[in-house]
Amino acid sequence: MLKFSYCNATDLNQALVQCRFAGSFGPLSSRRRSPRAAVSFSRSNLTPIQAVLSCQQQVGSDPVESELGSLADRLRLGGLTEDGLSYKEKFIIRCYEVGINKTATIETIANLLQEVGGNHAQSVGFSRDGFATSPTMRKLHLIWVTARMHIEVYKYPAWSDVIEIETWCQNEGRIGTRRDWILKDVATGEVIGRATSKWVMMNEDTRRLQKVSDDVKEEYLVFCPREPRLAFPEENNKSLKKISKLEDPVQYSRLGLMPRRADLDMNQHVNNVTYIGWVLESMPEEIIDTHELQTITLDYRRECQRDDVVDSLTGPELVEGSKIHGTNGSATAITREDDLDCHQFLHLLRLSSDGQEINRGRTEWRKKPT
């Protein structure tokens, strides 16, 4: 018999939901229980999260792996925080993750965010054969896809720097979930970046969006903070800003971009990080040479497949209190009057064949450090 004497009713229900996929309990079970199935959690220091994970480990799993965790779990420099509601992991920046500025690229940062999010999901029993998919999602052929991504980098790590990324997820409306991240320099403890994202559920067979069911919510909400926790708690922060559509004619473009096989992920479409590279392909060279990306926001409008051909379009963003720079009446960059070294751009990715919008974006650039 399971005992959760330390839990309130909500925690108990959520914990029991999590145990559903770890083994069969109750009168409806037709499977023979193993001796390990009789799990008792006494009044101790265990949190509801720890109780759920202990249940997952002890029921229907290999006893050696349950005791020690998987080899990957043992080798990773990360794990759940004490309350079990977020996950932290350390990463060493490798030489192939560094770009022309001798620091990690924005694609590296985005890939690490994706990695730590997936590792978080695996650490609580999800995502063994999909990106953070729960047992119910796998049963119903449902996947998570990115709807919006916002990343701010205050200082880029260099080769061999060690960074720590903390991540957690929360409910976000009826059809989505939210995942946030905070990046720190391990040597100094300095926050070097923050990010937030919104994910929606898609049926992998029909490729249509689907509401997040109560069953799925029950499976992951037990691992989410009880109160809202935001990487960007500031009022009117940039992550909330709507992205205007870039209209023709545009000043900068890179046409005919084609996905490589390596750009496809396990969800059978172009991975969300590839879009960042496509957006940057149409940035003016004079900005790339003298500035570095400090903020990027992307709204994902449709998925991109292997045979799609994509056009990348870029133009300066004109905002209140900004100043236009250029020659012959042509704007090459726009800066804020309060920061002449900061440039802002709008971006659009669209299908070359019919002009359908794939992704719209917004970037801010600061002068490279000397």
Catalytic site positions: 267, 269, 304
The two three-digit tokens of residue 126, written as one number: 């999800």
DSSP bridge pairs for 348:
313, 360
DSSP bridge pairs for 297:
150, 362
**Per-residue exposure over 81-116, b if at least 16 CB sit within 10 Å of its own CB, e if not:** eeebbbbbbebebeeebbeeeebbbbebbbbbbbbb
The alpha carbon of 81 is separated from its chain's Cα centroid by a whole number of angstroms, namely 18
Burial of residue 169 (number of CB atoms within 10 Å: 0-12, 13-18, 19+): buried
d(C-alpha 348, C-alpha 330), whole Å: 19
- CB-based contacts of 369, cutoff 8 Å, min separation 6: 292
Q: Where are the alpha helices (DSSP H) in the chain?
A: 9-19, 48-58, 63-68, 71-75, 106-123, 135-139, 214-221, 272-281, 285-290
Burial of residue 358 (number of CB atoms within 10 Å: 0-12, 13-18, 19+): buried
**Per-residue exposure over 198-224, b if at least 16 CB sit within 10 Å of its own CB, e if not:** bbbbbebeeeeebebeeebbbbbbbbb
d(C-alpha 90, C-alpha 88), whole Å: 7
- CB-based contacts of 268, cutoff 8 Å, min separation 6: 204
Q: Where are the alpha helices (DSSP H) in 184-314?
A: 214-221, 272-281, 285-290
